[in-house]
Amino acid sequence: MKVLATRRYPGPAFAELEDVEVGAVSGLTEVRPEIEALVVANEPVPVELLPGLRLVANFGVGYDRLGIETLRERGVAVTNTPGVLNAATADLTFALILAAQRRVVEGDRRVRAGEWTGSWADGFLAEELTGSTLGIVGLGRIGQAVARRARGFELRVLYTQRRRSDTELGEYRDLDELLGEADIVTIHAPLTPETRGLVAARGLALLKDGGVLVSTARGEIVDEPALVAELVSGRIRAGLDVFSREPHVPEELLGLPNVVLTPHLGSGTRQTREAMTRIVVDNILAFERGEPLVTPVQLR
């Protein structure tokens, strides 16, 4: 089966694909009827140029940019890589929470700029993490991994999601209550028509003064211009791994001390990315053999 992959994906599993071409889909200019399977990292699929396409194996759990409606209409199967990136994303969430809450990046910049000249006792102060209230928006697999890690920091955990679940991981709140009650809010919902713009300007205004917002999910879930305005005002702090128009990051954020910025690193560990490639390849091999897909996306 002829596979087009938008890059050489990391890890040894990639070498198991026998007939694979590596090349960006954005660079396709002519129709390629021989391509039957495509590997992308949540990138738009140019279906009009790939009339023979039968499978899209997405490297990643979120598939919001593929153009899923068109793929469904064309009968193209889609797979993703759930499960293996929960730990890495939850770990990065805590890296961002700690960095924002304890002003780690600001401190690092001060040291590098030669501004650490006096006693530690004269240094700037941050807020304690231990004992804070953490609000989790979306208690799916990654949200749950975050809630479990929160126990180690003795955090009180609140959560909100479409369906209230019977869980001991946290106390349910509706979104507005959670935004107003938590010291730190972290977003773990998938991007869907329902969650696009879920945390709007009105919701951001409910955050406590000095509160922290962290997102490792999708930039479009938060009203980005409203978030930028809140950060520019200095009222809140943030740790942001995702943005609405990646790799573009709003210019206004670049010089702000109260926001920590990372380039969509949630799943970015060698172990996790290699495990994601393993699932991508297993799906392609299963499809080739006519076996059930390992992790199909249900196209409703």
Cite the active site residues. 218, 246, 264
Q: Are 78 and 56 in contact (CB under 8 A)?
A: yes
* Binding residues among 9-48 for ligand DGY as defined by CB under 6 A: 42
Question: For residues 195 and 285, what is the distance between their CA atoms, to the nearest angstrom?
Answer: 34
Question: For residues 143 and 266, what is the distance between their CA atoms, to the nearest angstrom?
Answer: 13
Among 266, 275, 278, 279, binds ligand DGY (CB under 6 A): 266
Q: Applying CB under 6 A, does 60 fall inside the site for ligand DGY?
A: yes
Q: What distance lies between CA 268 and its chain's CA centroid?
A: 10
> Residues 6 or more apart from 4 whose CB is under 8 A from it?
20, 21, 23, 25, 32, 35, 37, 38, 39, 50
What is the token pair recorded at 251? 């210019």
> Residues 6 or more apart from 215 whose CB is under 8 A from it?
186, 187, 221, 222, 238, 239, 240, 241, 242
* Binding piece for ligand DGY, criterion CB under 6 A, among 15-23, 57-65, 138-146, 195-203: 57-65
Q: Applying CB under 6 A, does 191 fall inside the site for ligand DGY?
A: no
Cβ 197 to ligand DGY, closest distance in Å? Answer: 18
| 104 residue type, one letter | V
Among 11, 62, 170, 211, binds ligand DGY (CB under 6 A): 62
Around 258, how many Cα atoms within 13 Å sit in the side-chain half-sphere?
18
Output 95 or 207, the one with its CB closest to ligand DGY. Answer: 95
Cβ 228 to ligand DGY, closest distance in Å? Answer: 21
Q: Applying CB under 6 A, does 250 fall inside the site for ligand DGY?
A: no
- The H or E element that residue 56 is part of is strand 55-58
Q: Applying CB under 6 A, does 143 fall inside the site for ligand DGY?
A: no
Among 38, 57, 61, 294, binds ligand DGY (CB under 6 A): 61
Total binding residues for ligand DGY by CB under 6 A? 7
Measured from the Cβ of residue 152, the count of other Cβ atoms closer than 10 Å reads 9
Beta bridge partners of 137: 160, 187
* Binding piece for ligand DGY, criterion CB under 6 A, among 56-64, 153-161, 179-187, 225-233: 56-64
Output 239 or 266, the one with its CB closest to ligand DGY. Answer: 266
Cβ 14 to ligand DGY, closest distance in Å? Answer: 17
Q: Applying CB under 6 A, does 146 fall inside the site for ligand DGY?
A: no
* Binding piece for ligand DGY, criterion CB under 6 A, among 55-63, 71-79, 94-102, 168-176: 55-63
- The H or E element that residue 111 is part of is helix 104-112
Among 101, 267, 277, 283, binds ligand DGY (CB under 6 A): 267
Q: Applying CB under 6 A, does 211 fall inside the site for ligand DGY?
A: no
User: Where do contacts with ligand DGY occur on this chain (CB under 6 A)?
Assistant: 42, 60-62, 85, 266-267
